[in-house]
């Protein structure tokens, strides 16, 4: 176990009692916390203005800009968390992989990884050599952000090994990730080495964010829904567990509640302080069949996409796992009279789990009217069962 620095927002008592952190730790909150995947980004005019003439990955590695973009949706919507503005391919770029993010398309790689020799070329960068200096722009952006966020937690994130491998092997976005799934079976050695390498790269990226001040961490396995449960369990889950193991050891002593926050079970009452781990969330798209396996790799909470109702997801998780989700992003463009009851249904179904963090079932579509997101936050914060 490794204790976070005493100045870390969790250890210093700033965020440990927040609705978000308590929910991820399984404590039901009277007011359901809410944030949105891709809340920072093109739906916000202030984001589009800031990004003019700046490439995506350059923006991610500019600490002042990454911090400002992270803060924009928190200020505007009053959400319960910031999600660090970065991208799942940032640690690959820091490892020396030639990658760009093309607007409207996504990550594109100069050289796809298709053979064992290609994997060996990646391995020339030893993930263990990626140190504080490598991640300096990330850590600096996190520090700037948490200094502004105060009692609002920052969520760090990374891409899960399969989703990263799906991009690396294909060389860019793909529909069914066919080449990656072929490699998994055709060359198990190349596959397992590729998965181990990406796990360590993503794990190091995640750890840098948490050590610098993130109060929770989410692993995105966006494309895991293309896998059968058998393939996921055998060829992917061990690598995802390995990625999470880079942050699984991080703990903090539960601090005394700030004076204006009522005492809860998560807050020290007397005697020795309880020790807790930094909460970890695991999310994928189309992963209804994988939810239990995704929890078992070492996550505290599971993100659910819009296809599986939350009560059903909770049932599959044995009713003991906090869930996050799962408003259908398509509903954001529907009239309020359609959207509001949908959000209320999601909130009601979320009661089936020990705790619920409201989110979308995938990212905010770029054309979303940001006023609608603010209104959803108000609805969620005002809702009582």
Place of tokens 């179904």: 349
Q: Is 101 in the site for ligand CP3 (CB under 6 A)?
A: yes
Nearer residue to ligand CP3 within complex by CB, 50 or 351: 50
The answer to whether 42 is a known catalytic residue is yes
Cβ-based neighbours of 380, under 8 Å, separated by 6 or more: 31, 32, 34, 343, 347, 358
Q: Which of 28, 29, 42, 307 binds ligand CP3 (CB under 6 A)?
A: 42
The answer to whether 306 is a known catalytic residue is no
Stretch that binds ligand CP3, among 38-46, 140-148, 188-196, 326-334 (CB under 6 A): 38-46
* Ligand-binding site membership of 87 (annotated): yes
Distance in angstroms (rounded) separating the CA atoms of residues 19 and 40? 21
Task: Sketch the per residue contact string, 162 through 181, with ligand CP3: x for CB under 6 A, - otherwise.
Answer: -x------------------
Of the candidates 22, 47, 80, 87, the residue annotated as catalytic is: 87
Nearer residue to ligand CP3 within complex by CB, 173 or 273: 173
Helix/strand/coil (H, E, C) string of 93-110? HHCCCCEEEECCCEEEEC
Query: By CB under 6 A, what part of segment 360-379 binds ligand CP3?
Result: 363
| Virtual torsion, Cα 277, 154, 290, 106, nearest 10 deg | -140
Yes or no: say if 131 and 95 are a contact pair by the CB < 8 Å rule: no
CA-wise closest residue to 281 among 310, 304, 265: 304
Nearer residue to ligand CP3 within complex by CB, 41 or 279: 41
Q: Which of 32, 67, 215, 222 binds ligand CP3 (CB under 6 A)?
A: 222
- Minimum CB separation of residue 85 from ligand CP3 in Å reads 5
The answer to whether 87 is a known catalytic residue is yes
Of the candidates 38, 268, 307, 348, the residue annotated as catalytic is: 38
Yes or no: say if 110 and 90 are a contact pair by the CB < 8 Å rule: no
Q: Dihedral sign, CA of 319, 324, 326, 327?
A: positive
The answer to whether 300 is a known catalytic residue is no
26 is written with which tokens?
Answer: 């399984």
* Ligand-binding site membership of 362 (annotated): yes
* Ligand-binding site membership of 16 (annotated): no
Q: Is 37 in the site for ligand CP3 (CB under 6 A)?
A: yes
Q: Which of 41, 153, 279, 309 binds ligand CP3 (CB under 6 A)?
A: 41
Q: Is 83 in the site for ligand CP3 (CB under 6 A)?
A: yes
Distance in angstroms (rounded) separating the CA atoms of residues 219 and 9? 20
- Minimum CB separation of residue 159 from ligand CP3 in Å reads 6
Q: How many residues bind ligand CP3 (CB under 6 A)?
A: 22
Any idea what the Cα angle at residue 233 is, between residues 228 and 239, rounded to 5°? Answer: 120
CA-wise closest residue to 287 among 330, 237, 335: 237
Q: Which of 8, 16, 71, 85 binds ligand CP3 (CB under 6 A)?
A: 85
Stretch that binds ligand CP3, among 24-32, 35-43, 297-305, 322-330 (CB under 6 A): 35-43
Stretch that binds ligand CP3, among 97-105, 116-124, 178-186, 239-247 (CB under 6 A): 97-105
Nearer residue to ligand CP3 within complex by CB, 101 or 214: 101
Partners of 3 in the β-ladder: 251
Distance in angstroms (rounded) separating the CA atoms of residues 372 and 341? 14
Q: Is 157 in the site for ligand CP3 (CB under 6 A)?
A: yes
Angstrom distances, CA of residue 148 to CA of 38, 143, 158:
20, 9, 22
Quick one: which H or E segment has residue 151? Answer: none
Distance in angstroms (rounded) separating the CA atoms of residues 334 and 341? 11
The answer to whether 248 is a known catalytic residue is no
Annotated binding site for substrate: 38-42, 87, 167, 222, 362
Annotated binding site: 38-42, 87, 167, 222, 362
Q: Which residues bind ligand CP3 (CB under 6 A)?
A: 37-42, 56, 83, 85, 87-88, 101, 103-107, 157, 163, 220, 222, 363
Please list the active-site residues: 38, 42, 51, 87, 167
């Amino acid at each position: 176990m490794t204790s976070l620095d005493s100045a870390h927002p969790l250890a210093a008592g700033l965020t440990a009692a927040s609705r978000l952190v308590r929910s991820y730790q399984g404590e039901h909150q009277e007011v359901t916390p809410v944030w949105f995947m891709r809340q920072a980004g093109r739906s916000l005019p202030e984001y589009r203005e800031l990004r003019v003439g700046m490439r995506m990955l350059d923006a991610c590695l500019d600490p002042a800009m990454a911090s400002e973009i992270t803060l924009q949706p928190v200020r505007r919507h009053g959400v319960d968390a910031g999600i660090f503005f970065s991208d799942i391919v940032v640690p690959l770029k820091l490892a020396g992989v030639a990658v760009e993010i093309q607007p409207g398309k996504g990550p594109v790689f100069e050289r796809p990884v298709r053979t064992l020799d290609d994997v060996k070329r990646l391995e020339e960068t030893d993930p263990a050599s990626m140190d504080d200096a490598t991640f300096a722009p990330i850590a600096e952006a996190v520090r700037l952000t948490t200094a502004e966020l105060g009692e609002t937690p920052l969520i760090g994130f990374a891409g899960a090994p399969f989703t990263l491998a799906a991009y690396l092997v294909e060389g860019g976005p793909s529909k069914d990730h066919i080449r990656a799934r072929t490699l998994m079976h055709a060359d198990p050695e190349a596959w397992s080495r590729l998965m181990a390498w990406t796990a360590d790269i993503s794990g190091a990226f995640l750890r840098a964010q948490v050590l610098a001040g993130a109060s929770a961490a989410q692993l995105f396995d966006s494309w895991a829904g293309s896998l059968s449960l058998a393939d996921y369990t055998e060829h992917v889950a061990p690598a995802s567990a390995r990625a999470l193991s880079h942050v699984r050891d991080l703990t903090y002593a539960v601090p005394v509640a700030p004076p204006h926050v009522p005492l809860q079970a998560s807050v020290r009452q007397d005697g020795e302080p309880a020790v807790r781990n930094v909460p970890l969330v695991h999310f994928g798209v189309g992963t209804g069949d994988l939810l239990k396996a995704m929890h078992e790799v070492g996550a505290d909470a599971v993100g659910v996409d819009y296809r599986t109702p939350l009560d059903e997801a909770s049932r599959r998780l044995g009713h003991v796992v906090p869930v996050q989700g799962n408003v259908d992003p398509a509903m954001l463009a529907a009239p309020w009279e359609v959207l509001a009851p949908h959000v209320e249904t999601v909130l009601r179904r979320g009661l089936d789990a020990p705790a619920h963090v409201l989110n979308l079932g995938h990212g905010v579509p770029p054309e979303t009217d940001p006023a609608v997101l603010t209104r959803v936050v108000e609805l969620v914060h005002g809702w009582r069962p």
